[in-house]
A and B are shown apart, each in its own frame.
Chain A
Amino acid sequence: MSKISLIIKREYTTRVIKKSFIILTFLTPILFAGMITVPLWLSSIKDSNKKHIIVVDKTNSYSQVLKNNETYVFDFVNKPVAEIKKENTDKGENEFTALLVISGDLSENPKAAALYSDKQVNLELKSYISGMLSKFVEQQKLAAYNIPHLKEMVEKSKANIDIPTIKWGDNGQEKVGSAELALGIGMISAFVIYMFIIIYGAQVMSGVVQEKTSRIVEVIISSVKPFELMMGKIIGIALVGLTQFFMWVILTGSILFIGTRFIGGVDMASVQQANQAGMQSMAATQSPGEMQQLFALLHGFDFMQIIILFVLYFLGGYLLYASLFAAVGSAVDSETDTQQFSLPLTLPIIFAIYAAIYSAQNPDGPLAFWCSMIPFTSPIVMMVRLPFDVPAWQIILSLTILVLSFIGTTWMAGKIYRTGILMYGKKVTWKEMMKWLRY
């Protein structure tokens, strides 16, 4: 086994057996899946407690407007507001969730209604009430025009258009696309690359600092070249990152697979039941479930291409920054000193994620184009553009620039590293580091 592979092996194994790595690797997919499913599940649970809303309606004309639903019950009372408030504070315990006071005709004064409560009223209740009241006032106003069938005409003129987007594939087949989904996939992969570069770049840096502060570095470079030690560390940590990424893909994939099997099973059962009941027509016209629709959309993306380019851009971006992080680590004497030097490295990464967010709105605009060519931002920005079908020449050009740049930064970093790791107890400046390039 060559020496560099021994170094890679050590860097890799010491990291993947760490508890923090194992926990993060297995927990994150569960978190991913949880982030998708828990809100869905929670929204499906209905609050069994009925919430009472006391209504003091001084106009006496809204009792038919406010309708009870599963959650909210409206109780109309005819007491002064002050008395209700006093009763409420005396009891100290709430018998009602909120108090709605309607003090005048809402069609004349839209501000005549107010909602009082001890706690902040939730948005759902607020929009439920204002929705019903606005609709009623709207109808009142329409009726006041005295035009026959106006209500029906308005109703008919309402439109809700959902434009499906269809992409033409290379061989002419049509794929159902979704701009929202493309955006989602792009943003997630950009964010994962951003996170990986920051996390694993910092690991390279602290690894170098630890070797220097523990004074083992001179022992090792009497056996291997400093450049081999640096590259061994960078490659070893890159493999840790890739391991984590593929574990996430596989684990999230299998959790979602099991999840959809479960949901799909329920769907099939209900379809069969419907068949047995002889309501074939209904089953046939049933619109496909949201899940199925989502899967149809997901099939529209070339995931293999996205994953391969993700790995390439991750490696390129990581290699570009990791060697610079290694150079910074080699120049300082302790981990606390790294901050002033690592800031110029983290700034372009943070800029890249902002550029990615803006590029998402206009994936073919000049910002998106240039930032996906500049090597310091391209690994992150290009990920956002990928789902929107970037021309092949742009991908190839940006990857070529990236590869050439990381060869350049690695060469530069290697020179700084070589001198830096043997310097002890010296406050280093940028000027000094530039001098090391010429040693």
Chain B
Amino acid sequence: MILLEVENVVKQFAGHLALDSVSLSVPENTIYGLLGPNGAGKTTLIRIINCITAPDSGEVRLSGKRMTPGDVEQIGYLPEERGLYRKMKVGEQALYLARLKGMSKQDALKALKYWFEKFEIEEWWNKKVEELSKGMAQKVQFITTILHDPKLLIFDEPFSGFDPVNTDLMKREILNLRDKGATIIFSTHNMETVEDLCENISLVDQAKIVLQGNVADIRASYATKTYLVRSTGKVLGNEAFTLISQSDKHGIVESVIKKQTTEGNNALLEELMGQTDILSFEQLLPGMNDIFIETVRK
């Protein structure tokens, strides 16, 4: 089931093409990564999904229906450029933002109480935002983004400004939300996050989508015939594979090898088994970071 579909969206700003016929579809209940270098058009695309800007042509559909501005109540959006009213109290402000998303006062208060207790920040309720640290304010922003229980969550660089402890907390919460049925779009430069969390990605570069698909499939397709082999004895390179590196760690030999033939992995393994006692055999996949850099450079 596809929750969000973007079809042939084009957006032009005075003499500069921001999005060139971009299409993507986000399956329900998954985490989707939107990657790309700065200025590629990610934020413009996200703003179009949020009905902040209108596309010149193309269509955005939510649950199969063309999106109307009223549908933004089903979206929770944490923009990259985010902030709060500095002079306003935390609780008052969270309530205000929740009500702007269409929640009733009672529902909003109930949900806020739940989240403030969960994050153990009840004592911030009457503090002014300017008294909070950046990380604390980010927590409040996270709560206000997800409070109205949206079907679709969009996070633009969500972990910038978080310390590792809070980053971990947020990641867990995001996974929790997915398990409860939410669909999540991440826009990020942080490839580790992508490998950790995302099932599918789109890589945007210069207004176009240059790479799209399932993260595991993409990594497999970029596989470079390298393997990590652990064995009790040394392996020696031959016509079937070359040895890239080898090290001895407490009697266990770790070797990185590169296959030279077009044969399958089993043939290579048989070749290795003939040499020594194999403890483990693993094909090395390129990281998303390498794929990102390679694709964008092309």
Contact = CB atoms under 8 A, between A and B. Distances in A.
Nearest to A18: B87
A220 B100 contact: yes
B83 A216 contact: yes
A222 interface: yes
A223 B47 contact: no
Range class of the B interface residue count: 20 to 34
A222 B50 contact: yes
Contact of B141 (A14, A211, A219, A422): A219
A395 to B, nearest CB: 40
A422 B100 contact: no
B14 A435 contact: yes
Given A218-B52, A422-B47, A424-B81, A6 B99 contact: yes
Interface stretch (B72-80, B180-188, B257-265): B72-80
Contacts of A3: 100, 102
B249 interface: no
Nearest to B52: A221
Given A218-B52, A218-B81, A222-B52, A14 B88 contact: yes
Nearest to B129: A214
How many chain A residues sit at the interface, stated as a range, is 20 to 34
Interface in B47-90: 47, 50, 52-53, 69, 72-73, 75, 77-79, 81-88
B152 to A, nearest CB: 12
A10 B75 CA distance: 23
Interface in A225-263: 225-226
Contact of B97 (A211, A214, A220, A226): A220
A30 B128 CA distance: 33
A430 interface: no
A215 interface: yes
Interface string A1-36: 101001100100010000000000000000000000
B82 A218 contact: yes
Interface string A402-439: 00000000000000000000101000000000010001
B38 to A, nearest CB: 12
Nearest to A228: B100
Nearest to A1: B99
B153 to A, nearest CB: 12
Nearest to B53: A422
11 contacts: A6-B100, A214-B86, A218-B52, A222-B75, A223-B72, A223-B100, A223-B102, A224-B100, A422-B53, A439-B13, A439-B14
